[in-house]
Structures are given as C-alpha cells and as structure tokens.
Amino acid sequence: MTPLDFYQYLIRKGFEERKSQRDMISIVDKVLQKGGVKLVEAPTGTGKTFAYLIPIIVRQQKAIISTGTKILQDQLKRDIEFLSSHWKILTGKKISYAVIKGKGNYLCLDRFFKEEIEAEDRLEIETLIETEWDGDLTLTGISMESLTKINVDEDYCTYAYRQTCPYFSQCYYWSRVKRREASADILVINHSLLALKDFDTKGRILIIDEAHELDRYLTLATTFGISLYWFKDVQKGLEKLLGESVYLPAEEFFIKNFEKLFSEEDREKPLEDLKEYIPQMRELLYEPLRISVNKLREKIKKEVRDFAENRLMVSFTFKDYIANTLLFEEEFIENLNAGYEEPTAEERDLIDLIKKLDFYKRKLNKLKAFIGLADREEEGIGFQIGRNWSKKLNGYNYRLEAFYIFPQGIIEPEDYKGVVLTSATIEPEDIYLTTGIAGEYHKLEHNYDYTRSTVIIENTNPKREDWKEKLLTSYYILRSQYDRVLVLLTNREHLKLFEEEEVGIQGKDSLTKLIEYLRKGHIKVLVGLDSLWTGVDIKGDKGILMSKLPFENPNDPLTYHRIKFLKEQGEDPFLYQRRKAYIKFRQGIGRLVRQKSDRGTIVICDNRIWRYREFIDFLNSIGIRIIPKGKFTKSGYRYPFW
C-alpha cells in the first residue's frame, strides 16, 4: 500500500480531497524514501498534519514531529489518534507514538519530598500523585517558584545521582517518559525540546511544523543566565546547609544597576554588553558564592570522614557514589569496606548532602561560565535584562540573560534520515538567515475562497493623531457586525483600550481558555499580541482588527541585537524586519478563513501597507476584496497621495 492508497481510502470514508494535500503527501513521501531537506509552504486548509502523517504511517517510518507549542502538540495527538484508528481498521496494525516535553516540565519526586514549597502547591501535587497523572507540572496551577524547586533539574539530577536516587524506578521523566520515547515510532515534541536534542535521532525523519516560528523558539530554548530569584534561592539553600548566614548581595547588584532602566510596562531591555558589570559580578556574586560553596565542601567532607571512621562496613551504593564525586583521595575510598547493597538511612542522608554540594558547585560553575561569556564579547551573542513580578520575593525578579542572535547550527539536518519544514508562511531566505537550514522549496496552492471576504485599509497609521480614534471606531463597527472578533495588537500598552465586558484579554487568563470562551460564545472579542496572530483557530464568520503592520519592536532585545548585528555585517536590517513583518501579516490574514464556509472582514488601521508591494500582492493573490478608505490613485497600486 502506498500513502496515496491510504489517502484514497480516507476519501472514500468521507474525508475531503484537497489537491494541495495530495501534493504534500507526495513531497513528504519522497523525503522518506530519498532523504534530503524540503521546505513546504502549505496555506491554511491544506491539512498539512495529515499530509505528513499519512506517509509516515504507511511507510512505518520512525519520526520526530516538532511543533511550536504544547497546544499544537495536543492537536497533533488527536490527529494521530484519528489516523491510527483508520489504519488499524484497514491493516490491523497499531501506531505507537508518544507526546513528550523537556525534562524541566516534569515532577522530580526526590526534590518534591525534600524541598519546601507553598502549602497549596504541595497539596495539589500530592493529590495528582495519587492519580494517573503523567507528572507534567505545566498543566498544574502551581506557582513558577514552586515549579522550579520540584521539577527535574539537570544540575540536581546528574547521572551519578540517578544511580542512587530512591525514586528512580518511579520517576515521571527517566522511568516513564524515556521508556515511552524508546518504544514509540512517532515522537511528538515542541521546538524548545528540539533545540535540546534530548532524544535519539538515529534513523528518524524530522518534521518541523509551524517552521515560521522555529528561530524564536530555538532562541528561547538556548537563552541562559542568572536572576535575583536564582541567587535568593541559592543563598537560602546554602544558609540552611551551613547553619549560618551567607553574604550574597544579589539584590544590591540587580536593583542598583538595572531598576532605573525600567518603566512600569517594560518587561525586557536589550543591553549592549556586560563589560561594565563584570567587576561587580565577580565581587558581589561570584566570590561570595565561591567562598560559601568551599565552606560547604569542607563541612561535608568532615561529616563523611567522621562517619567512615566509626564504621567497619558501608554499602556498595554509598562507596560507589563517594568514589564518583571525586571529593576524596583514592586512599580514603580504598579504605572503605563495602559489604551490603542497600544504603542505611544515615548513608542516604550523607549521599543527599553530597548531592546538594554537587548541585551548588554546578550553580557556581554556571555563574562562572556566564561571567566568562560576558567578558569574551563573543560574536553572535546578545544580552538582555528582564523583570517580572514575583509573589515570593514581594518585588521584581530581575533576569540577566544571554542568547544566540541567530540560532544557526542548533538543528543539524544530517542528524536525521530526512527533514521537512512546513508552515502556512514559510520563507526560505528567513529560515536560512535565522537557523542556517537550506532546502528545496515547494509552494502549494491556496485552498479556501477569500473572494467573499473583505480587507478594509483605513487612511491612518499609528503616527497620526486620529489613529486611536479610527482604531476604536473600527473595533465597535466590527463588534456590531460579528459575534466573533479578534483584535491583533503589536503593543502591550494598547491592551488597555479594549478592557470591557465580553472581551477576553490575553494575559488575564490562559490563551487556551480564552479561545474556548470565544468558540462557545462566552466572550465576543479576543484581544492579544503575538500568539493571536499565529496560533488561533476559530471557525465561523468573524471580524479581525489589525492595529498596525506587525513590524517587530526595534527595542525588543532579540530584534535590537539582530538589527545591530546586521548593520555591523554591512547589511540592511530593514530587509530582515520587513520580511518578518510580512510573515506575521500573512499569519494574521490566515486567522480569517479556517474552513470553506467562513467569511468575514479584516480592518487594517495602517495605511503604510501601500508602501510594501509584497503585502498588497499577497492580498491580491488570495482574491480577497480590498477597500481603501480615503483618497487613492488608481495607477498600478492604490498609493495614497496626501
């Protein structure tokens, strides 16, 4: 049986045939058989998920499918289940798959039973442990502070400690998730996990869905740094172990240097470099931490020696763990007589102490590496300072971070049997610039009828005094005409303009809930920023209000450093900015028609669109009716003449 045979079977069962879907099935099937890298632009309505799943299932090909968000992972799960049920009816064979996330999403039982977290968070986790829960902390309601204390942490969960961990056989990640991963033919992951490469790629094909967002997720996944909360948590832990106060003036460092940079609405700020802060980082952060960790090392070594002197025999587990720590000289290890397997309670306590020492040594090494990175001024690395309100700190938690300006080389196509990148808006030039991935480009035809829908371009833009008035007027008109309205913004401050009854505001509740409220009619309007432009699937007639063309804020840290980097390379950064805006604009237009019967109106409150030929070309290519508001010439494009 070929993939197209299975496709024909589904059509006979009532599945809708689409030419673009059939074409994509053939493209993916060629990659499965011959390898290579393909970039496939599959417009809304293609059914691209089925188009790559069908060949994978029929060819019984091991695959890794990566998508942008956990919401989309859940959608993929439903699609696999649907196809799997038909495949089993047809052939009697099952499809083995696993939806997995990064280790940091899962509960560590060892940390949970040792760490102090808020009582209500502890109660929630204790209740979940008694159920068939999969250990995914991101699906709980616990605070971020609690989550970071009890999740699987690579600094805590080292290979050596896993050999002695009393909960290893019950571990949600290492015992359950990794077991499912090893036995599954299809792994469904997200782009953040893809960047970490924490899975076996041998013999697998890689499908990157929602590829237009790949570079952003790769950047987020590889962003690293330090924070005020990080230091406060380290300080508290060391004080508990040492039984004395620890001098670690992180608050002085962060607030003195960075508080003045922020206004009330700011969340992140770009930093040119960290050169001026390095002396303070060494004096106020690194040296006090190094002294405390060394003091803890000597304290624990003494406790272990005192214990060993009073014992004729220890467990093999204890001796092996001591040997792996490299804390003690060979003579001490050799003099330990091991005669039984299971460690005693006292040995467990000492193993736990050594484990904590190793944990803080790793934190110290990470701080040292971060300072070293800042000192080297490595090309292609950007820096930012961010802050968010912390209930635990009763103040702002400041984060000092570094990231790859263009995360090239993180995804290496040669690690896989073949690679397919797909999206409704894939731009080969942007994919290559931001990720370094190049491949054969295929553009599939549009599937939906936009001729019954309208784009109204208002004669205003955010630089004009009448812009806000026309934005709100357009909003109330759309709201009077449609039961479902999406308001796509680019500036967080503008969210306040739409705070009223029957309006869902992104950030005031989870986006998943808000989307469901809009679908069910509990709210009539959904207002938001980035995620609303690209990640919302609302079927039915609707109105869409675009406040302005979605050019990225030049003060956004990533955008700022990319512009700076491109200028230094002698390139025009506006070409990059324009391409990114064009990709996001097309994604926004794609929110309108989600099924054949859909129609609606899009209002764009930004007449600067007439300056950019590709934006108008795209609207013309899908056949949507364009209505300019104001006076325009009619030669070629309708350019405003005011």
For the residues of 561-624, what is the DSSP string, one character each?
A: HHHHHHHHTT--HHHHHHHHHHHHHHHHHTTS-SSTT--EEEEE--GGGGG-HHHHHHHHHTT-
Cβ atoms 169, 175 nearer than 8 A: yes
Q: What is the pLDDT of residue 601?
A: 97
Beta bridge partners, 225, equal 401
- Candidates 358, 373, 395; CA nearest to 226 is 373
Percent of the chain predicted with pLDDT > 90: 81
Give the span between the Cα atoms of 486 and 504, in whole angstroms.
10
Please determine, for residue 344, whether its predicted confidence score (pLDDT) is greater than 80: yes
Residue 358 DSSP class: H
Q: How far apart are CA 63 and CA 189, in angstroms?
A: 11
* Sign of the CA dihedral with 564 first, then 565, 568, and 574 last: negative
Across-strand partners of 602?
455, 544
Task: Give the mean model confidence (pLDDT) for residues 148-162.
Answer: 90
**Mind listing the pLDDT tens digit for each residue in 394-410?**
899 999 999 999 999 99
**Contact between 207 and 65 (Cβ < 8 Å):** yes
Which among 94, 26, 96 has a CA at the least distance from the CA of 55? 26
How many CB atoms are closer than 10 A to CB 142?
21
Contact between 147 and 115 (Cβ < 8 Å):
no
CB-based burial, 374-412: b 16+ in 10 Å, e otherwise: beeeeeebbbbbbbeebeeeeebbbbbbbbbbbbbebbe
Q: What is the pLDDT of residue 636?
A: 38
Q: Please report which confidence band the pLDDT of residue 378 belongs to, taking 50, 70 and 90 as the band edges.
A: confident
**What's the pLDDT score for residue 630?**
66
Give residue 629's pLDDT band: very low, low, confident or very high (50, 70, 90).
confident
Residue 459 and residue 491 in contact, taking contact as beta carbons nearer than 8 Å: no
Calculated CA dihedral for residues 48, 51, 57, 62, nearest 10 degrees = -60
- pLDDT tens digits along 425-450: 999 999 999 999 999 999 999 989 99
Q: How many CA atoms lie within 13 A of 350 on its CB side?
A: 23
pLDDT tier, 160 (very low <50, low <70, confident <90, very high otherwise): confident
Q: Which residue has the tokens 């196509």?
A: 413
Residue ranges per structural domain of the chain: 3-96+184-221+409-443, 224-404, 454-628
What is the predicted pLDDT for the residue at 588?
96
Query: Beta-strand (E) ranges in 302-353?
Result: 314-315, 338-340
Cα of 557 vs its chain's centroid, Å: 17
pLDDT band at 379 (very low <50, low <70, confident <90, very high): confident
User: What is the pLDDT, as a whole number, of residue 640?
Assistant: 38
**What was the pLDDT predicted at 638?**
42
Arithmetic mean of pLDDT, 334-360: 93
Q: Report whether 110 contacts 167 (CB < 8 A).
A: yes
**The predicted structure's pLDDT at residue 634:** 37
Cβ(268)–Cβ(384) under 8 Å?
yes
**In CATH, what class is 454-628?**
alpha beta
Identical fold, 3-96+184-221+409-443 and 454-628: yes
Nearest to 608 by CA among 634, 582, 590: 582
Phi and psi angles of residue 390, each rounded to the nearest 5 degrees, phi first: -115, 120
Beta-carbon contacts of residue 71 (< 8 Å; ≥ 6 apart): 511, 512, 535
> Residue 145's pLDDT band (boundaries 50, 70, 90)?
confident
C-alpha torsion 54→55→59→62, nearest 10: -90
Query: For residue 28, is pLDDT > 70?
Result: yes
Sign of CA dihedral 470, 473, 478, 479: positive
AA identity, residue 242: L
Q: Which of 368, 328, 370 is nearest to 350 (CA)?
A: 328
Handedness of CA 406, 410, 416, 420 (dihedral sign): negative
Q: What is the pLDDT of residue 310?
A: 86
Residue 184 one-letter amino acid: A
CATH assignment, 3-96+184-221+409-443? 3.40.50.300
The residues, any chain, with a CB within 8 Å of residue 427's CB and separated by 6 or more, are 212, 579, 582, 583
> Mean pLDDT for the chain?
92
Per-residue pLDDT, 641: 30
Distances in Å between the Cα of 586 and the Cα atoms of 415, 580, 590, 623 are 32, 10, 6, 14
Distance CA 560, CA 219 (A): 14
Sign of the alpha-carbon torsion through 326, 327, 329, 334? negative
More confident residue, 101 or 626: 626
pLDDT in tens, 231-275: 999 999 999 999 999 999 999 999 999 999 998 778 899 999 899
**Residue 563 pLDDT > 80, yes or no?**
yes
Residue 152 in 3-state DSSP?
coil
Q: In this structure, what DSSP letter does residue 271 have?
A: E
Q: What is the pLDDT of residues 246-257, one digit of tens each?
A: 999 999 999 999
Q: Where are the alpha helices (DSSP H) in 14-129?
A: 19-34, 48-58, 70-91, 109-112, 119-129
Which residues, at least 6 apart from 91, have a Cβ–Cβ distance to it below 8 Å? 1
pLDDT at 400: 97
Tokens found for residue 41: 């632009």
CA distance 21 to 96: 24
Q: What is the pLDDT of residues 472-518, one digit of tens each?
A: 999 999 999 999 999 999 998 899 999 888 899 998 888 888 999 99
Task: For residues 599 and 457, give the distance between their C-alpha atoms in angstroms, rounded to a whole number.
Answer: 17
Residue 352 has what pLDDT? 92
